[in-house]
Structure 1
Amino acid sequence: MPWSTPFDEPIRLRGGARLTTLQHAADHVMKLPNDVQQQERWQIAVENLINAAEIGGGWLMFARIGMLRALNGDGEAT
C-alpha cells in the first residue's frame, strides 16, 4: 500500500491541521524531537505506519489508532 494512502478519516491535530495519509503521519512523527520519537507510544505508532505501508489491509486502521493514541498520550501524563 503506498505511503500516499489516505486514512478512512483524517487525524485532526491541535491548531486545525490534519494528517490525511500515511506519509503525512510519518512526516509528523519525524518532525518531533528525537526524545519524543523514542517514547514507546510513538515507536508503536511508527511500527503500525510501516506495517500499513508494507502489508496494507487492517494495518491502516491500526496505524490511525496508533497515531491517535500517541498524540493523546495514551492516557499518560505528558
Structure 2
Amino acid sequence: MTKGWGRPFEEPIEVGGRALATLLDAGEYIAALPKKEHSAPVWQAAMQALILVAEGGGPTLFARIGIMRALNRHYVPKLNPKGEEPHWSRRKLKRDQ
C-alpha cells in the first residue's frame, strides 16, 4: 500500500464549493481553520487520522471518516420525527388474530 500525503480519497469531499481530493488537501483545509475551531477535539482527531493514514499507510477511508465526522459534528438526526411507532411494530401475525 502506498504512503504519502498525495494519496487521493476514493471520493473527494465537497466542502463549501471546494473539493478535498487528497490527504494533503484535507490537511491544508484543517490547518486553515480558525484557531478556535482547529483546536476542537473533533478536528484534532481528524488530523490525527490524516497523519496516521498518510505516514503509516492504511485505507484513506479512515481519514475520510474523520473529516466527515468533524464536518458533520453539529448535525443531530431526528429520531422518529413524527412520534409514531414504526410500521413493523403494529403488524400482527395471522396466528395472533
Q: TM-score range by the shorter chain?
A: 0.7 to 0.9
Q: Percent identity?
A: 42
1:66 Cα deviation (Å)?
0.4
Alignment RMSD (CA, Å): 1.3
**1:1-78 to 2 correspondence within 5 Å?**
1-14=3-16, 16-58=17-59, 60-73=60-73, 75=75
The unaligned stretches of length 5 or more in structure 2 are 77-97
**Which one has a bigger Cα radius of gyration?**
2
How high is the TM-score relative to the length of structure 2? Answer: 0.71
The unaligned stretches of length 5 or more in structure 1 are none
The whole-number CA distance in structure 2 between the counterparts of 1:32 and 1:57 is: 26
1:75 Cα deviation (Å)?
3.5
How high is the TM-score relative to the length of structure 1? Answer: 0.87
Runs (4 or more) in structure 1 with deviation over 3 Å come to none
Q: Kindly indicate which of the two structures has a greater share of residues assigned to helix.
A: 1
Which secondary structure does the structure 1 equivalent of 2:30 belong to? helix
